[in-house]
Homo-oligomer: A and B are copies of this chain.
């Protein structure tokens, strides 16, 4: 039985408690929040779980095996570090840490202590992303040429981070999961009228061999868009996360380009065939992730969304931040 303590019962915390509490082999034994109102809410839903306001009662408790850190990113490092030092596995809300150096320290610490880190990249456990990963792994898509995502809507303007840190972690974690290669460099442009934090941003990620990814994130869009195009050698794919029934469409479309010998011209042939929308599993992503965390602990298995995955995402966020502050300077990773 994994005894889990939760730190942070704000917006996302209740989902964490509900999902971890519902799975076999795991019990949420303590909920911690500095905010009294949050604890009152927790008490109403989970009267049977102990509530505390001091995180020490979770981090250094003898009767807790793992800690879920569901607090603002600026506090992740300190809380996770202390939990690891006290021998707890950690489940950390995304983005993993505020800097890549913090991520490296936590990874090193966890390895030394032989503990698990899981970063809550929830999207990787959705039916849609699992299906995309499968299609790429089974070589249905072929070599991935580009990854182009748009994640825009009206609000919520964050006070402490820009739109990249708020919205892009989702897309970067999926991109990192789906594209096997490691990115070389990052570049971001964007704008702001309202504060120091950009409300709109465009992030380009360069991979080796002419592979490219691009993210369009925006807090000031009149419409909500959650669309990713994936261009592949064999098939192309559109993931529209807003469509309730046909989230993924796979197109038998593409080009074949031959350089004619001794000639300047290209020979381009276009292919346009059927479209196919595979059924996508509906199970709640966070439930699957919670089960996976418990399984990784029990079977001493390294999660694919471990500290290293979290670190890779933070590296890109950090680089994008550096780039956008210098009007799109190219930042090598």
The listed residue (B159, B270, B275, B279) touching A266 by CB distance below 8 A is: B159
- Chain B residue contacts of A193, Cβ below 8 A: 145, 209-210
Complex-state Cα separation, A276 to B250, whole angstroms: 9
A251 interface residue, CB < 8 Å from B?
A: yes
**A211-B191 in contact given A154-B255, A155-B255, A223-B245 (Cβ < 8 Å):** yes
Q: Which residues of B contact A329 (CB under 8 A)?
A: 330
Supposing A220-B231, A276-B274, A276-B277 touch, asked if A264 and B328 sit within 8 A by C-beta, the answer is no
A246–B216 CA distance with the chains assembled, in angstroms? 24
Interface of A (DSSP majority class): strand
A251 to B249, CA, bound (A): 13
Contact between A154 and B279, CB atoms less than 8 A apart: no
Q: For the complex, what is the distance from the CA of A214 to the CA of B177, rounded to whole Å? A: 27
Residues 145-186 of A at the B interface (beta carbon under 8 Å): 145-146, 148, 150, 152, 154-157, 159, 185
- Any B CB within 8 A of the CB of A97: no
- Give the CA-CA distance A198 to B40 in the complex, in Å: 50
Q: Which of chain B's residues have a CB closer than 8 A to the CB of A252?
A: 279
The CA of A150 and the CA of B272, in the complex, are separated in Å by 21
Judge whether B222 and A327 touch: CB under 8 Å: no
Contact A279 B268 (CB under 8 A): no
- Indicate whether A1 reaches chain B with its CB closer than 8 angstroms: no
- Spell out A's residues near B (CB within 8 Å): 145-146, 148, 150, 152, 154-157, 159, 185, 187, 189-195, 200, 202, 204, 206, 209-212, 214, 216, 218, 220-224, 229, 231, 236-238, 245-246, 249, 251-255, 257, 259, 264-266, 268, 270, 272-279, 327-330
